[in-house]
Amino acid sequence: MPSFRLATLALIAALGALASTTASAQSTVKISGYLDLGVYRDTSGTWNVGTIQRSNLAFSGSEDLGGGLKATFKLSTRMDLDTGASEGAGNKPFFHGESTVGLAGNLGSVRLGRALDAIWAQDWEFDPWYNFDRVASPAWDLWHYNYPSDPLANNGSAEYGRLNNGVFYDSPTIDGVTLHLSGSPERRTGDTKRATAGSLNYSKDGNAAMLSYGKNSARATDVFLGLKGTIDALALMGAYNVSETAAGSKATAVTLSAQYTLGSNTFNFGVGQVKVDDTIAQRNLGLGVVHALSKRTSVYVDAAAKHYAGTDGNKAAYGVGISHSF
């Protein structure tokens, strides 16, 4: 299987290189990615060398069809750099991040396939770590607590973020306002409804707002409200999220965060909690600093204190890492 995956990537890269040299100027193919690796101590006290943020490799492109219309595609795989293995190998699909083809024009874009649903694709703007850091980000642990976007997407197990067999619409931006919709026309064995989600967003001049609602194929629901304001180099963020299972268990998460940029350094702070029914299930405090070595490469330090229901005291997590985008 690893050799097959390597052959697949090599074939895609070769096709991309061929397309870029033989296609007309109206066609583009891009290879991009984000690589992250660090040394960290998790809340169980175990030291790890591994991905703190999420590493991915993506192939994307478009073709100008004329009349303001273009065809698009994206294939994105995720990997664990410490071993070179696919993220969640044997459980998650190889193109775990995204596998879509679509059309884009003056009225917006439509994609078909597997991708982040309308909620998860937009919430990153309301967390200093972009809901992207497993050590320090309160959002990573607390948001969408009872809401897997697709309960069956990973070979029958739950996926928190992406939707299989999906249709995804992103509207054009009008004075900072966008509409995002996602859903699936399929009802697989085990589904009790067709998944749907929508998000209305505003983002302009460093200020942002988001209101979204979704119901997954197991009838779990999610309501998310995010706000962000920027004053010079300081950004303040807040999020309120309610997710509820079909059986009626309700999780209410609240996070407050700040991000301050000083030269090549970015300082992150976040605090939050999630209450499940009548019990505070978890409280998080996260701190971090990112130092940009260049436009593409950064080193960072993260630390967090996490308190879980039924335990005494806080559990500490901390680590250092390096990331590179291309």
Prediction pTM value: 0.90
CB 214 within 8 A of CB 149: yes
The pLDDT, as a whole number, for residue 101 is: 98
Contacts of 262 (CB under 8 A, 6+ apart): 233
Stretch 239-243: mean pLDDT: 98
Is 214's pLDDT higher than 90? yes
DSSP string, 170-194: EPPPBTTEEEEEEE-S---TT-SS-
**Segments forming the whole domain that contains residue 21:** 2-325
**What's the rounded mean pLDDT across residues 250-278?**
98
Question: Model confidence over 21-60: pLDDT tens digits?
Answer: 444 458 999 999 999 999 999 999 999 999 999 999 999 9
**Cα separation of 267 and 261, whole Å?**
6
pLDDT confidence bin for 8, thresholds 50/70/90: very low
Judge residue 83's burial from the number of C-beta atoms within 10 Å of its C-beta, 0-12 exposed, 13-18 middle, 19 or more buried. exposed
We report the CATH number of the domain holding residue 228 as 2.40.160.10
Beta bridge partners, 74, equal 60, 100
Instruction: Report the number of distinct structural domains present in the chain.
Output: 1
Helix or strand holding residue 149 (H, E): none
Question: 175-192 as b/e, with b when 16 or more CB fall inside 10 Å?
Answer: eeebbbbbbbeeeeeebe
